[in-house]
C-alpha cells in the first residue's frame, strides 16, 4: 500500500487542491450554535477535520432531502409531453468523512446501484466522487461502530484515508485518483512504523469506547441473530412501538436509509409544467406502507418499527449491503423523541435473552 | 456552509432548526442539536417544513374582485381599495382577524393598525383562541399571563400530570420531554378520556368519563385536603383565598366521585398522594375546543397551588399552545380588551402610554372577538380584514358572505381568500427577520433565509403602507425598529431587541431590568405578591348519556390533519399521510370501542349516522381500544363534519371541555 505523510498545518491543502476540480464537502462547525454539519464548503478553509462527528450524515450529498429529478411540460392541445431529466452532475469531493458515514454511503451504493436497476439520479451524484476519510482517533459519546464493523478506521471505499498521528496525518492511498492527488501535493512517503503508529491509535480509540462512548452499550451481533430468525417477541416490539412518535427522524439521519417518495408538483410559472421531486421518506409513516386499495401490511406502529430494525439488523439485509445495515453512528439515538434509537432497541431485544 | 438557524413555525413548542437553501429556494431542514427546547429533535411536521416553505401554493400578486372573479392588481391599488372600503364604516363595523402564526412584529402592527388607523377594538386571534382561558387564570392568580414553568425544567419535575391533551400529537417534542422524564423516574400521570400515546407511556392513567375532568381534579384536591397533605406553610406565606376554594370540597360526596368520573376512588387518592409527596410537580393542558375550559383550568391551578407546586424549580402550571405564535398573539394585544403584554385596554394610564407613542388615540369603545360577531345575527360587522387564516375550513361562511367587504392578507393560498374582495400577498416566515414567542414565553429570533419574490412585501411593510394610505405616518426603517417600539410599550418585553435575541436561543419573558437574560419560570421569591386561588364554580354536573343518546362524543385533533390541514396540504409527505386517513375514512371518522361496534353491528370503516339533539352527520367508524364503551371520539378535519354537525353545537363547543355531546350512533 502506498502511504504518505502530511503535516497538520498542511492538511488543508488536500481540500484546496480538490477545490480546483470538485465541489468540496466536509465537516464544519456552525458558529452560532456549535453544531457540526457535513455540508458544502463555500470556502475550503471552513472544513474542520477535528470537528466532532457531524450532526448530519453525508447522505444528502448523493441523496438530497428534496431534489428535482425531472421537469416536464404537457401540451394539452397537441397531446405531447416534453420531459427533461434534471441531474446534478458536478463532481463532488467529500473531505473528512467519518468511517461510519463511509460505510453508510457504501450501503446506499449497493441499494441504488448494486441491484438490477441502477438509479441514474444517484449515479450522477456519486460518479467521479473523491472521498477522503478521517480515522476517529477518539470515539464520540453516542458511537458504537466497533459493534457494527464500520470503524473507528475505514477499510475500503476511500481515495485517501487520513489518520491523525499527533503532529502529522498518515495519508493512505486507496485508489489511482488518490495516488494522483498525493503525487500532485508531493507528499513525503510514510513507512511501516507510521502504519504501526496508526494501528496503535486505532487500538487506543477502541479502548476508549468503554469510557467515552457511554451512550451505547449495544450487543449488536447477538441481536442480529434474534431479529433475523424472528425470535423477538411481539410484546417487545409493542413496547418499542408505543414509544415511537412517528416523526421519521431515525430514517432521515441514518447514513444508510434510502427510502424515498416521488411527488409531482405543478410549476406555477408555466401552464402544463410540473417538477418531479424525490424526497426522503420513512417507514415510520403509516402512509408509507399503505397500498392502493387501502391494505396496509404494516399498519400498527410496532410493525413499522420492527421493519426498520429488520432493515438495520437482519442477515437478509446484509445480503444486499454486504454488511450490517446499521453503521453504528448513533445519530438515531440523538434525534429520537421516543428514546428508541437503535442502541436502546438492541438493549430491549437483548433483555429478552439476558433478562 | 448553507445552514441558517431558525424556529419551526408549526406548533407552540418552538423547536430550533436549520434551513438549507439553494437558488433562493428552501430545500431542506435539519434539527438544532443544542437548542434548549428541542435538543436535536423535530416531529413529523417539523421534519417536513421545507416542503411547505417551497410550495408553489402561494399568493404572489395583489388581487381585486372584478366581474365575479379576481383580477391581478398592484399593492397601491389594492391597498387604496382596502382603506377606502374600511373608511366607509364606523369602528364598530370593522373587524380584524389576526393569525396566531404571524410574527410578533406583524401581530403588533396589525393591532396598531386596527386601533390607531381604524379606531376599532374588534380584533381577535383566529383559531384555538381558547388559550385565553389559560392566560386569564394564570394572570389573575400570579400576574404572569403565560406558562408558569418551563420546557427546560420538565426533567426536573418529580410528578407530571398530563390533563386532557394528546401531547405527543399536538406538541410532540414537549411530549418527548415528558416521556424522557418518565424514563428517568418521574411519576407521570395522564388524565384523559381517550387512551392517548402519552397515556400508554405514563406510569398511571386515569381514564375519566368525557366531561368529568373538573370533577376528577376536584377529587384530587379534596384528597389532599382531607388527608392534610397540603403545604400549610406555603399556603399561609404565599397564597390568599384558599378558604373560598375549600368550600367546593364540601359539595363533593365521596361516594359519587368514582361513579361520575369513571375512575376508582382509590386510584384518585393514590395520585393525589403522589402529587403532594413530590418535591416538584408540573401539569400540562391545553384550552379550547379540544382542551379544557376556564373553570377546569381554574381547578387545576388551584390544585397545584394548594399542593405548593407553584413558583419553584421543576414546578409549573403549564398551558400548551397548539400554534407557533399563539402566545405571541396575546402578548401583542390581539384581543378586544388587551394591549401588549396583557395590559388592560381599560387601564387609562396604559392607554395613554400607547396613545403618546402612537401619536394617535387608542379607541375606548368596547370591541368583541370576530367569531363572536360572526355568530351573532344582530352584529354590526360589515368589513373584515383576515390575516393568514390557518385552517383549511372557513367557519361561519354564510355570515362572511353577507359582509360588505372582506380583505385577505396572507402568504399561502387559503379557501378564506375566496370570500375576499381584496387579496394582499405577504412574504413567508422565512423571507423576513421575525420573532415568535413559544408556549413557554420564549421569544425567539428567526433570521431571513431567502429573499421574497420580486415585489412581494413582508407583512410589516404592508401594514405600514396601509397605515400610510389611512393617513398615518409610520417610520420603521427595519423590522427590528418594530420590536424596539414593542419593548418601549411592554414591561414584559422591555429588555428585548433583535440584536439581543440573535445570539443564542431566545429569551423567556419577562425580560426586564431585573431579569436581563429573561425568566425561565415563575419564581415565588420574586413574585412580590400573594398568589390568589382562582374563583371557580361550584357546579359539578357532568354530561350524562341518556337513553336516546347513549354515547358521549368528544371532539379533538389528530396528528397529520391537525388544524384541518391548510399548511399540511401544501406538503408532500404529511399530505400523503393525511390522504391515507381520508382514503380509509373519506367522510371523517368517529372512534368507538370494539364492544360498542359489536353492539351497533358495524366494523371498522363502515358508515354510521351520529345523531344528537341538535343535528346529525354521516361518518365512518374507526374501531379502537383507545376509547371506553359508550364514549366516542371525532377528530375535526373534514369540512362536512365541521359545517354540518359541529357548528350546530356552537354553544356546547364554546364551553371547551364540556364540549361533550351526547349522541346516538346508528348503523346505516
CA distance B600 to chain A (A): 24
Cα gap B240→B306, rounded to integer Å:
10
Cα gap B390→B386, rounded to integer Å:
10
* CB pairs A-B closer than 8 Å: 131
Above 70 in pLDDT, residue B222? yes
pLDDT in tens, A314-337: 998 888 889 999 999 999 999 999
Can you give the pLDDT at residue B657?
Answer: 45
Best residue in A23, A27, A29, A32 for a mutation probing chain B (most B CBs within 10 Å) = A32
Length of chain A: 355
A245-275 per-residue burial string, b: 16 or more CB within 10 A, e: under 16: bbbbbbbbbbbbbbbbbebebebeeeeeebb
Above 80 in pLDDT, residue B391? no
The A residues from 195 to 254 touching B (CB cutoff 8 Å) are 242-243, 245-249, 252
Contact B176 A245 (CB under 8 A): yes
Cα gap B194→B164, rounded to integer Å:
8
Contact A287 B2 (CB under 8 A): no
* Percentage with pLDDT > 90 across chain A: 76
Above 80 in pLDDT, residue B327? yes
Average pLDDT over residues A8-19: 96
Are B214 and B340 members of one domain? no
Contact A337 B179 (CB under 8 A): yes
Can you give the pLDDT at residue B293?
Answer: 85
Show residues of chain A in contact with B173, CB under 8 Å: 337
Q: Given CB atoms, is A33 within the 8 Å cutoff of chain B?
A: yes
Above 60 in pLDDT, residue B658? no
Confidence of residue B250 (pLDDT cuts 50, 70, 90): confident
Give 3-state DSSP helix, strand, coil % of chain A, rounded to 5: 40, 20, 40
Above 90 in pLDDT, residue A182? yes
Above 50 in pLDDT, residue B617? yes
Range with the lowest mean pLDDT among A72-81, A265-274, B122-131, B563-572?
B563-572
Q: What is the mean pLDDT of chain B?
A: 91
Nearest to B1 among A39, A60, A290 (CB): A39
Query: Which chain A residue's Cα is nearest to B502?
Result: A32
Please count the CA atoms within 13 angstroms of the CA of A350 that sit on its side-chain side. 15
Are B336 and B459 members of one domain? yes
pLDDT in tens, A188-238: 999 999 999 999 999 999 999 999 998 777 778 888 888 888 889 999 999
Nearest to B176 among A32, A286, A338 (CB): A338
Are B567 and B642 members of one domain? yes
pLDDT in tens, A245-291: 999 999 999 999 999 999 998 887 788 899 999 999 999 999 899 88
Phi first, then psi, for residue A252 (nearest 5°) are: -70, -35
Show residues of chain A in contact with B33, CB under 8 Å: 33, 35, 55, 334
pLDDT in tens, B56-92: 889 999 999 998 899 999 999 999 999 999 999 999 9
Are B649 and B566 members of one domain? yes
Contact A64 B28 (CB under 8 A): yes
Which pTM value belongs to this model? 0.95
Query: Which chain A residue's Cα is nearest to B583?
Result: A294
Contact A279 B573 (CB under 8 A): yes
Extract the C-alpha cell encoding A205. 480509540
Cα gap B516→B493, rounded to integer Å:
10
Cα gap A224→A148, rounded to integer Å:
10
Nearest to A335 among B41, B180, B584 (CB): B41
Average pLDDT over residues B535-540: 83
Extract the C-alpha cell encoding A243. 414509544
Contact B34 A35 (CB under 8 A): yes
CATH number of the domain encompassing residue B155: 3.40.228.10
Show residues of chain A in contact with B35, CB under 8 Å: 33
CATH number of the domain encompassing residue B41: 2.20.25.90
Query: Which chain A residue's Cα is nearest to B29?
Result: A65
Above 60 in pLDDT, residue A162? yes
Contact A247 B44 (CB under 8 A): yes
Average pLDDT over residues B266-281: 97
Above 90 in pLDDT, residue A163? yes
Above 70 in pLDDT, residue B565? no
Average pLDDT over residues A49-72: 95
Higher confidence at residue B403 or residue B249? B403
Can you give the pLDDT at residue B644?
Answer: 67
Asked if B542 and B554 touch (Cβ cutoff 8 Å), the reply is no
Nearest to A265 among B47, B56, B573 (CB): B56
Can you give the pLDDT at residue A6?
Answer: 97
Are B405 and B378 members of one domain? yes
Q: What is the mean pLDDT of chain A?
A: 93
Are B257 and B333 members of one domain? no
Three-state DSSP state, B590: strand
Nearest to A55 among B20, B29, B30 (CB): B30
Task: Tell me the pairing of strands A168-173 and A188-189.
Answer: unpaired
Average pLDDT over residues B432-459: 96
Asked if B317 and B138 touch (Cβ cutoff 8 Å), the reply is yes
Contact A66 B47 (CB under 8 A): no
Q: What is the sign, positive or negative, of the torsion defined by CA atoms of A35, A36, A42, A43?
A: positive
pLDDT in tens, A36-55: 999 999 999 999 999 999 99
Show residues of chain B in contact with A268, CB under 8 Å: 56, 58
Best residue in A239, A245, A277 for a mutation probing chain B (most B CBs within 10 Å) = A245
Are B163 and B241 members of one domain? yes
CATH number of the domain encompassing residue B592: 2.40.40.20
Query: Which residue range forms the structural domain that includes residue B652?
Result: 551-667
pLDDT in tens, B178-197: 999 999 999 999 999 999 99
Above 90 in pLDDT, residue B289? no
Cα gap B654→B642, rounded to integer Å:
14
Please count the CA atoms within 13 angstroms of the CA of B6 that sit on its side-chain side. 31
Contact B27 A66 (CB under 8 A): yes
Best residue in A239, A335, A341 for a mutation probing chain B (most B CBs within 10 Å) = A335
Structural domain tally of chain B?
Answer: 4
Average pLDDT over residues A144-151: 92
Show residues of chain A in contact with B197, CB under 8 Å: 242, 245
Query: Which chain B residue's Cα is nearest to A63?
Result: B28
Question: Is-cis flag, bond preceding B510, omega within 30?
Answer: yes
Contact B176 A66 (CB under 8 A): no
Are B565 and B650 members of one domain? yes
Nearest to A286 among B31, B200, B580 (CB): B580
* Percentage with pLDDT > 70 across chain A: 99
Best residue in B17, B30, B179, B190 for a mutation probing chain A (most A CBs within 10 Å) = B30
Contact A261 B176 (CB under 8 A): no
For chain A, which residues make up each domain, given as ranges?
3-354
Confidence of residue B558 (pLDDT cuts 50, 70, 90): low
Can you give the pLDDT at residue B42?
Answer: 97
Domain boundary among B293, B319, B345: B319
Residue found by looking up cell 398573539 in the block: B329
- Assigned domain for B425 exists: yes
Beta-bridged to residue B662, according to DSSP, are B552
Query: Which chain B residue's Cα is nearest to A260?
Result: B573
Show residues of chain A in contact with B41, CB under 8 Å: 247, 249, 335-337
Nearest to B51 among A37, A66, A267 (CB): A66
CA distance A294 to chain B (A): 7
Amino acid at each position: 500500500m502506498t502511504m504518505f505523510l502530511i503535516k497538520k498545518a498542511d492538511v488543508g491543502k488536500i481540500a484546496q487542491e480538490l477545490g480546483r476540480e470538485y465541489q468540496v464537502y466536509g465537516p464544519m462547525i456552525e458558529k452560532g450554535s456549535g453544531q457540526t454539519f457535513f455540508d458544502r464548503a463555500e470556502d475550503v478553509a471552513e472544513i474542520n477535520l477535528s470537528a466532532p462527528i457531524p450532526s448530519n450524515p453525508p447522505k444528502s450529498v448523493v441523496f438530497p432531502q428534496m431534489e428535482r429529478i425531472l421537469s416536464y411540460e404537457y401540451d394539452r392541445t397537441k397531446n405531447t409531453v416534453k420531459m427533461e431529466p434534471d441531474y446534478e452532475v458536478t463532481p463532488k469531493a467529500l473531505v473528512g468523512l467519518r468511517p461510519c458515514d463511509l460505510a453508510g454511503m457504501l450501503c446506499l451504493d449497493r441499494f441504488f446501484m448494486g441491484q438490477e436497476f441502477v438509479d441514474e439520479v444517484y449515479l450522477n451524484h456519486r460518479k467521479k466522487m473523491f472521498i477522503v476519510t478521517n480515522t476517529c482517533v477518539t470515539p464520540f459519546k453516542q458511537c458504537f461502530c466497533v459493534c457494527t464493523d464500520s470503524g473507528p478506521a475505514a477499510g475500503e471505499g476511500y481515495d485517501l484515508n487520513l489518520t491523525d498521528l499527533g503532529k502529522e496525518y498518515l495519508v493512505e492511498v486507496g485508489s489511482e485518483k488518490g495516488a494522483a492527488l498525493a503525487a500532485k501535493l508531493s507528499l513525503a512517503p510514510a513507512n511501516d512504523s507510521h502504519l504501526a503508529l496508526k494501528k496503535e491509535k486505532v487500538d487506543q480509540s477502541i479502548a476508549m469506547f468503554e469510557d467515552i462512548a457511554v451512550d451505547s452499550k449495544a450487543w449488536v451481533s447477538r441481536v442480529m441473530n434474534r431479529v433475523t430468525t424472528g425470535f423477538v417477541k411481539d410484546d417487545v416490539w409493542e413496547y418499542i412501538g408505543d414509544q415511537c412518535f412517528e416523526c421519521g427522524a431515525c430514517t432521515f439521519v441514518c447514513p444508510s436509509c434510502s427510502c424515498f417518495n416521488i411527488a409531482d408538483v405543478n410549476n406555477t410559472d408555466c401552464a402544463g409544467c410540473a417538477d418531479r421531486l424525490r424526497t426522503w421518506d420513512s417507514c415510520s409513516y403509516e402512509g408509507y406502507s399503505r397500498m392502493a386499495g387501502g391494505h396496509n401490511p404494516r399498519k400498527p406502529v410496532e410493525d413499522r418499527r420492527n421493519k426498520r430494525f429488520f432493515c438495520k439488523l437482519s442477515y437478509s439485509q446484509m445480503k444486499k449491503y454486504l454488511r450490517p445495515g446499521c453503521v453504528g453512528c448513533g445519530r438515531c439515538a440523538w434525534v429520537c423523541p421516543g428514546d428508541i434509537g437503535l442502541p436502546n432497541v438492541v438493549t430491549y431485544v437483548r433483555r429478552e435473552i439476558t433478562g | 456552509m448553507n445552514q441558517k438557524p431558525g424556529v419551526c413555525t408549526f406548533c407552540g413548542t418552538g423547536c430550533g432548526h436549520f434551513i438549507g437553501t439553494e437558488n433562493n429556494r428552501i430545500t431542506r431542514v435539519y434539527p438544532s442539536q443544542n437548542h434548549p427546547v428541542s435538543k436535536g429533535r423535530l416531529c413529523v411536521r417539523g421534519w417536513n417544513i421545507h416542503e411547505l416553505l417551497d410550495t408553489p401554493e402561494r399568493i404572489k400578486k395583489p388581487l381585486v374582485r372584478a366581474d365575479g372573479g379576481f383580477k391581478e392588481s398592484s399593492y397601491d391599488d389594492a391597498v387604496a381599495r382596502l382603506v377606502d372600503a374600511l373608511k366607509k364604516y364606523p369602528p364598530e363595523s370593522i373587524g380584524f382577524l389576526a393569525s396566531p402564526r404571524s410574527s410578533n412584529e406583524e401581530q403588533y402592527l396589525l393591532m396598531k393598525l386596527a386601533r390607531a388607523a381604524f379606531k376599532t377594538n374588534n380584533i381577535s386571534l383566529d383559531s384555538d383562541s381558547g388559550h385565553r382561558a389559560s392566560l386569564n387564570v394564570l394572570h389573575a392568580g400570579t400576574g404572569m399571563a403565560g406558562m408558569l414553568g418551563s420546557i427546560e425544567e420538565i426533567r426536573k419535575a418529580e410528578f407530571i400530570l398530563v390533563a386532557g391533551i394528546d401531547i405527543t400529537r399536538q406538541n410532540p417534542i414537549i411530549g418527548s420531554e415528558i416521556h424522557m422524564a418518565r424514563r428517568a423516574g418521574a411519576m407521570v400521570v395522564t388524565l384523559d378520556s381517550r387512551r392517548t400515546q402519552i397515556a400508554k407511556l405514563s406510569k398511571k392513567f386515569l381514564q375519566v368519563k368525557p366531561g368529568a375532568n373538573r370533577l376528577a381534579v376536584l377529587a384530587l384536591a379534596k384528597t389532599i385536603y382531607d388527608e392534610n397533605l397540603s403545604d400549610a406553610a406555603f399556603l399561609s406565606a404565599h397564597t390568599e383565598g384558599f378558604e373560598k376554594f375549600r368550600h367546593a370540597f364540601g359539595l363533593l360526596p365521596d361516594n359519587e366521585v368514582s361513579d361520575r368520573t369513571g375512575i376508582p376512588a382509590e386510584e384518585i387518592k393514590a395520585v393525589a398522594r403522589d402529587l403532594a409527596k413530590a418535591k416538584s410537580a408540573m401539569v400540562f393542558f391545553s384550552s379550547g375546543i379540544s382542551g379544557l375550559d376556564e373553570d377546569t383550568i381554574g381547578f387545576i391551578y388551584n390544585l397545584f397551588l394548594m399542593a405548593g407546586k407553584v413558583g419553584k424549580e421543576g414546578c409549573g402550571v403549564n398551558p400548551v399552545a397548539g400554534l407557533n405564535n399563539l402566545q405571541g398573539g396575546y402578548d401583542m394585544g390581539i384581543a378586544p380588551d388587551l394591549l401588549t403584554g396583557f395590559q388592560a385596554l381599560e387601564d387609562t394610564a396604559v392607554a395613554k402610554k400607547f396613545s403618546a407613542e402612537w401619536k394617535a388615540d387608542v379607541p375606548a369603545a368596547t370591541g368583541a372577538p370576530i367569531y363572536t360577531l360572526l355568530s351573532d345575527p344582530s352584529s354590526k360587522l360589515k368589513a373584515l380584514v383576515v390575516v393568514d387564516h390557518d385552517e383549511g375550513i372557513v367557519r361561519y361562511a354564510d355570515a362572511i358572505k353577507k359582509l360588505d367587504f372582506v380583505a385577505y392578507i396572507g402568504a399561502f393560498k387559503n379557501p378564506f381568500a375566496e370570500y375576499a374582495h381584496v387579496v394582499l400577498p405577504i412574504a413567508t416566515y422565512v423571507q423576513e427577520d421575525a420573532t415568535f414567542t413559544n408556549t413557554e414565553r420564549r421569544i425567539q429570533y428567526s433570521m431571513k433565509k431567502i429573499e421574497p419574490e420580486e415585489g412581494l412585501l413582508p407583512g410589516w411593510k404592508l401594514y405600514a403602507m396601509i397605515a400610510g394610505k389611512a393617513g398615518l405616518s409610520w417610520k420603521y426603517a427595519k423590522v427590528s425598529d418594530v420590536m424596539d417600539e414593542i419593548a418601549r410599550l411592554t414591561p414584559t418585553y422591555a429588555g428585548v431587541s433583535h440584536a439581543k435575541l440573535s445570539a443564542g436561543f431566545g429569551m423567556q419573558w419577562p425580560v426586564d431590568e431585573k431579569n436581563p437574560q429573561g425568566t425561565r419560570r415563575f419564581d415565588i421569591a420574586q413574585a412580590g405578591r400573594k398568589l390568589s386561588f382562582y374563583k371557580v364554580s361550584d357546579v359539578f354536573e357532568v354530561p350524562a348519556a341518556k337513553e336516546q343518546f347513549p354515547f358521549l362524543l368528544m371532539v379533538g385533533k389528530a396528528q397529520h390533519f391537525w388544524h384541518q390541514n391548510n399548511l399540511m396540504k401544501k406538503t408532500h409527505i404529511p399530505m400523503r399521510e393525511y390522504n391515507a386517513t381520508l382514503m380509509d375514512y373519506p367522510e371523517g371518522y368517529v372512534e368507538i370501542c370494539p364492544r360498542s361496534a359489536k353492539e351497533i353491528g358495524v366494523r371498522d370503516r363502515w358508515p354510521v349516522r351520529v345523531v344528537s339533539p341538535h343535528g346529525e352527520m354521516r361518518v365512518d367508524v374507526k374501531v379502537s381500544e383507545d376509547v371506553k364503551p359508550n364514549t366516542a371520539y371525532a377528530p375535526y378535519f373534514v369540512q362536512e363534519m365541521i359545517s354540518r354537525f359541529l357548528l350546530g353545537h356552537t354553544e356546547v363547543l364554546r364551553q371547551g371541555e364540556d364540549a361533550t355531546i351526547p349522541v346516538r350512533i346508528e348503523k346505516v
